[in-house]
């Protein structure tokens, strides 16, 4: 059954009365949801809770979005969308349609997908065929057995040579020497004949096996070629609009990005779907929000009902095009909040400096030219010959940063970090009450390639990450903890705090893995190490002011 425009635009009730419209469109990669967005999301969540037929799929988790819009008559409403597909379909009343419905029956995607699936089945049939499996196993057994026989023959040649050497030492004899030489030559020739015969046997099996493997390889090449061509054709169907009325397909949008080609799933996230619908129907986008519904994925951190920024890998380039022509909020990360804040020097001697970085200041220069600790130190110590900064803190983290005044000291301090000889203590406030008093968290971490700088837990791809923790106090529904990281992975403490297999309590104010607040309550409070120049144990402390 077809859907009409009114199936997709939803009106607010009296609860929206008196709520001011946002002055600019939401900056999608770091935002606080506008009150109208929260109101719209609540209505969508109530709708989802009533869809018992979707309960099992929704429990596994999915990203949804809302877009507050204004129509040509000034009427206020909102759109809703889901990322990917839902219940095996891209189209459901209540949610805007996809930019391009790749699941439409009889469409080129479904037709070609069926052809590629047929190739997959043929590959599986060939790889599992009794003849191929038998030949492959026999070939592997033969290689193993032949290798064993040749190794035994080489050992025998070695023993025979040793025997002849003993005879030469015990009874030197010219006539016998000729006999021993001929014996050696014969044995070596016998080994060569054995090696040649075994190799010929292997080649016969290998040739028979190649008939099957060549066909499998040909089918895999065809599958790869057809899949790539299908992806390009598919991406060409996603013709994304913007507020200026300009259109670009996904191939054009990603052409000038580092990845060059669109990633899988590009154009199917909630926000691009809603913006496309708004532009097609002359609706003015006012504010957006995307929230997670259901259980968290195993490797990522997503909490039921929480809002999340748009992913940068798939949506960053797309939204860069689609938001052109809209007045968009500024990027909060580009706010130079500490340009006039004095840098607090906690410790200094002839070799090293320890500064206390405020939350919201970069450790080192970024592409936006914001004030940072390294530039401050260079200005303060113009005669310093080293790179100065030895390690970094996240922009949102406050606390102690260690710097060196010369290159040699920088290298020696870095060596201490690499050998985990510098002990660090962080203080954090966590959402909720942590039940255990202390413990150890060991969750391997790696970057999320589709949404940097977000990290994810991965036993397969992650690097070891270990954190010790101790609860300091519990108060007003929050927990103060000390973290002692034994490794130094990106966002280690933030992920270990928030992940369900870690403490399952995000750091207060962590906009990536929990709830945004006035700041992120994570502070590097203490550094302890043996001073490379004096050989004395040194501990530098600046406790958190929270």
pLDDT by residue for the chain (546 residues), tens only, comes to 456 777 899 999 888 888 999 999 999 999 999 999 999 999 999 999 999 999 999 999 999 999 999 999 999 999 999 999 999 999 999 999 999 988 787 789 889 999 999 999 999 999 999 999 999 999 999 999 999 999 999 999 999 999 999 988 887 777 788 889 999 999 999 999 999 999 999 999 999 999 999 999 999 999 999 999 999 999 999 999 999 999 999 999 999 898 899 998 999 999 999 999 999 999 999 999 999 999 998 888 999 999 999 998 899 999 999 999 999 999 988 888 888 899 999 999 999 999 999 999 999 998 778 899 999 999 999 999 877 999 999 999 999 999 999 999 999 999 999 999 999 999 999 999 999 999 999 999 999 887 888 999 999 999 999 999 999 999 999 999 999 999 999 999 999 999 999 999 999 999 899 988 999 999 999 999 999 999 999 999 999 999
Predicted pLDDT of residue 455: 95
Cα separation, 357 vs 370, in Å, equals 14
Q: Which residue intervals of 238-346 are DSSP H helices?
A: 250-254, 270-280, 312-322
Structure tokens at 439: 């413990």
C-alpha 17, offset from chain centre: 41
- Domain boundaries in the chain? 5-99+239-330, 112-234, 334-541
Q: Give the bridge partners for 470, in sequence order.
A: 438, 482
Query: Any idea what DSSP says for residue 332?
Result: G
Contact 101, 84 (CB under 8 A): no
C-alpha 201, offset from chain centre: 49
3-state helix, strand, coil in the chain (%, to 5): 40, 20, 40
CATH topology of domain 334-541: Pseudouridine synthase (3.30.2350)
Helices 108-128, 130-170: axis angle to 10 degrees equals 40
- DSSP per position, 112-137: HHHHHHHHHHHHHHHHH-HHHHHHHH
Active-site entry in 256, 344, 349, 394:
394
* Burial group, residue 74, by CB count within 10 angstroms (0-12, 13-18, 19+): exposed
Predicted pLDDT of residue 491: 97
Predicted pLDDT of residue 254: 96
Cα separation, 536 vs 405, in Å, equals 18
Predicted pLDDT of residue 6: 77
Predicted pLDDT of residue 3: 67
Closest CA to 425 of 545, 506, 544, 546: 544
Q: Is 336 a catalytic residue?
A: no
Q: Give the bridge partners for 69, in sequence order.
A: 77, 285
Q: Kindly state the helix (H) or strand (E) to which residue 380 belongs, with its residue range.
A: helix 373-380
Cα separation, 105 vs 391, in Å, equals 55
């Amino acid at each position: 059954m077809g859907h009409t425009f009114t199936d997709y635009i939803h009106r607010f009730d009296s609860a929206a009365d008196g709520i001011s419209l946002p002055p600019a469109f939401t900056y999608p990669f770091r935002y606080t949801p506008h009150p109208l967005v929260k109101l719209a999301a609540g209505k969508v969540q109530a709708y989802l809770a009533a869809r018992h037929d979707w309960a099992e799929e929704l429990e596994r988790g999915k990203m949804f979005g809302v877009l507050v819009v204004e129509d040509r008559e000034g009427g206020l409403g909102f759109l809703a969308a889901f990322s990917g597909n839902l219940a095996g379909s891209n189209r459901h009343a209540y949610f805007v349609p996809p930019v391009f419905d790749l699941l439409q029956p009889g469409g080129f995607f479904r037709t070609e997908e069926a052809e590629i699936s047929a190739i997959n089945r043929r590959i599986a049939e060939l790889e599992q065929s009794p003849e191929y499996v038998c030949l492959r196993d026999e070939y592997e057994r033969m290689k193993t057995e032949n290798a064993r026989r040749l190794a035994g023959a080489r050992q025998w040649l070695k023993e025979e040579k040793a025997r002849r050497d003993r005879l030469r030492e015990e009874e030197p004899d010219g006539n016998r020497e000729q006999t021993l030489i001929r014996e050696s030559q014969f044995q070596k020739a016998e080994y060569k004949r054995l090696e040649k015969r075994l190799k010929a046997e292997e080649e016969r099996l290998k040739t028979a096996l190649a008939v099957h493997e060549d066909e499998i390889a040909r089918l895999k090449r065809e599958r790869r070629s057809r899949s790539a061509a299908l992806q390009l054709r598919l991406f060409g169907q996603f013709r994304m609009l913007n507020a200026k009325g300009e259109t670009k397909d996904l191939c054009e949008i990603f052409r000038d990005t580092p990845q060059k080609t669109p990633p899988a799933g590009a154009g199917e996230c909630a926000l691009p779907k809603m913006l496309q619908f708004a532009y097609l129907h002359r609706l003015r986008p006012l504010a957006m929000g995307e929230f997670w519904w259901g259980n968290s994925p195993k490797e990522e951190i997503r909490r039921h009902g929480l809002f999340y920024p748009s992913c940068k890998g798939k949506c960053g380039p797309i939204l860069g095009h689609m938001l052109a022509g809209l007045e968009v909020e500024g990027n909060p990360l580009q706010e130079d909040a500490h340009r006039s804040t004095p840098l607090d020097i906690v410790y200094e001697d002839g070799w090293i400096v320890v500064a206390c970085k405020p939350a919201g200041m970069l450790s080192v220069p970024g592409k936006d030219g914001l004030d940072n600790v390294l530039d401050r130190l260079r200005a303060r110590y113009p005669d310093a010959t080293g790179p100065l900064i030895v390690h970094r803190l996240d922009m949102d983290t406050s606390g102690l940063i260690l710097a060196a005044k010369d290159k040699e000291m920088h290298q020696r301090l870095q060596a201490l970090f690499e050998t985990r000889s510098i002990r660090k203590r962080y203080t954090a406030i966590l959402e909720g009450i942590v039940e255990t008093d202390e413990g150890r968290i060991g969750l391997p971490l790696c970057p999320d390639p589709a949404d940097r700088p977000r990290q994810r837990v991965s036993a397969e791809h992650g690097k070891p990450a270990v954190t010790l923790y101790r609860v300091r106090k519990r108060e007003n529904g929050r927990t103060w903890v000390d973290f002692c990281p034994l490794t130094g992975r990106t966002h280690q403490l933030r992920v270990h705090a928030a992940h369900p297999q870690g403490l399952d309590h995000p750091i207060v104010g962590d906009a990536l893995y929990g709830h945004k607040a006035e700041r992120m309550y994570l502070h590097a409070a203490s550094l302890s190490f043996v001073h490379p120049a004096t050989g004395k144990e040194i501990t530098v402390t600046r406790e958190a002011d929270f």
